[in-house]
Each structure stands twice: as C-alpha cells, then as structure tokens.
Amino acid sequence: MIGPKHVAIIMDGNGRWGLKKKNSRNLGHKKGIIRVEEIIKQSIKKKIKFLTLYTFSSDNWKRPKIETNFLFTLLENYIDKEFNNLKKKNIKIKILGDIDKFPPSLKIKLRKVEKNTNYNTLIQINLALNYGSRQELVNAFKIISIKKKRIITEKLISDNLYTKNIPDPEILIRTGNTNRLSNFLLWQINYTEIFFVKKLWPDFGKNDFNIILNKFNKIKRNFGAI
C-alpha cells in the first residue's frame, strides 16, 4: 500500500483547549507545539514526504497583539531549540506565505532555517505563515501578468504559487470541530481527501493521525473516472 506523499493540517483548537484547562489560550498554543513535534515524528515514520502546517493565517493578525506576539515568541523559541536538530535529522523547512511583516528577529531566523535545511531530503515541513490562499492566487496572477504570459495553463498557475514543486496534498486534516477551510490551499486541494476531526489540536495524537492514514488507504479515489 502506497501511503500519502503530502499531508496538510489546519491545526485548530489551541485557544479553546487552553481556555478549558487554565483559562489561558496561550497554554493551548504551547501544548500545540508538542503535538507538532509528535506528528512530525509520526509522518517521518510513515514515510510522508511533505507535511504542511497551517501555523499563522493572514487573518490571524485580527487577534489581540498579546496573542500574536506570544505565537511569534513560541515559534522563535522552537527554531532556537531545533535549529541544529532539523539539519542533523535531514528535515527541510519551507515557508509558505509572506513573512515580511513578522518581527525582524523571527524573520531572520526563519530565512536562516529555510536556507540551512534546503538540501535536506527526509521530509519537507511547509510552515504556512501569514498565509492566505486567495492572496497566494492573486500574487501568482500578478507575477504571471508581469511576465506577460499569454497562454494560461494549470501548470503555469501552480508554478507561481508558494507551493511550486510541491505535489497537491492527498490528505487535509482540520482539528477543532470546525468544518471550514479558512482560506487554506484552495487551489491545491481540488482532489484532496478532507478529514474534519472533533478533537482540539492539543488533544490530537499519533493514534488519531494513524487512524486517518488507515482510512485514507481504504478510499477509492476516482478523479472523475469510475
């Protein structure tokens, strides 16, 4: 059985988890990072080649500054802690989105980790940061029009998205008991199998992940044929 090459995840529910536990949304974000590490490990075990994590959406700026700053600090601490490990473990990090408006020190570290892990081959972790799918498409159309391309093809559009050279995901998981896409990978998920999970992200573990992978393996994917 050939498993999926690319799994994308909308890691939703951190805030509610933290509120329920200790009346602190940020606690949920902290616990969420531990789950990220667990799911990366499991993805490697399952020989998944691309794991895309919706980490900060272009609409998440609407949250209070105290929360966005906490998220940026968490991410920066994670990079500080894992910088050498990622390289050693042969993990490639790629950023999807426009991180220009991120705090300067975080931006520098993100660029550095991307550059430093560029030739790694075990797995590619795509971090969707300040990512919005419509913005990604608008950006692609702008590039295409600047290049004065007259023949528009699906490949031309795909090649001008942040996800250039990344195969479309076979699986999209959204945790947090919410059945929507929130502006995530709208072009790329045309034939993706979507799994909406009730559990909040900090409660989503490797067993839940395995259950989805097993379900996926039993699905007959038609792509319009029979």
**Using the rule CB under 6 A, is 56 a contact of ligand IPE?**
yes
Select from 11-19, 30-38, 66-74, 145-153 the region that touches Mg ion (CB under 5 A).
11-19
- Residue with smallest beta-carbon separation from Mg ion: 12
Select from 49-57, 112-120, 150-158, 209-217 the region that touches ligand IPE (CB under 6 A).
49-57
What DSSP letter does each residue of 36-94 carry, written as one string? HHHHHHHHHHTT-SEEEEEEEETTGGGS-HHHHHHHHHHHHHHHHHHHHHHHHTTEEEE
Among residues 159, 158, 213, 165, the alpha carbon closest in space to that of 188 is found at: 158
Amino acid at 38: E
Contact 193, 171 (CB under 8 A): yes
**Using the rule CB under 5 A, is 12 a contact of Mg ion?**
yes
List residues with catalytic annotation.
12, 60
CA distance 165 to 155: 10
- Residue with smallest beta-carbon separation from ligand IPE: 15
Instruction: Choose between 12 and 76: whose C-beta lies nearer to Mg ion.
Output: 12
Select from 5-13, 19-27, 135-143, 165-173 the region that touches Mg ion (CB under 5 A).
5-13
Among residues 56, 57, 53, the alpha carbon closest in space to that of 6 is found at: 53
When binding is defined by CB under 6 A, the residue of 11, 113, 123, 166 that contacts ligand IPE is 11
Sequence-ordered list of residues with C-beta below 8 angstroms from that of 113, at least 6 positions apart, any chain: 79, 83, 86, 93
**Using the rule CB under 6 A, is 176 a contact of ligand IPE?**
yes
* Residues forming beta bridges with residue 195, ordered by sequence position: 173
Instruction: Choose between 42 and 57: whose C-beta lies nearer to ligand IPE.
Output: 57
State the residues that interact with ligand IPE by CB under 6 A. 10-16, 54-57, 60, 71, 176, 178, 180, 182
State the residues that interact with Mg ion by CB under 5 A. 12
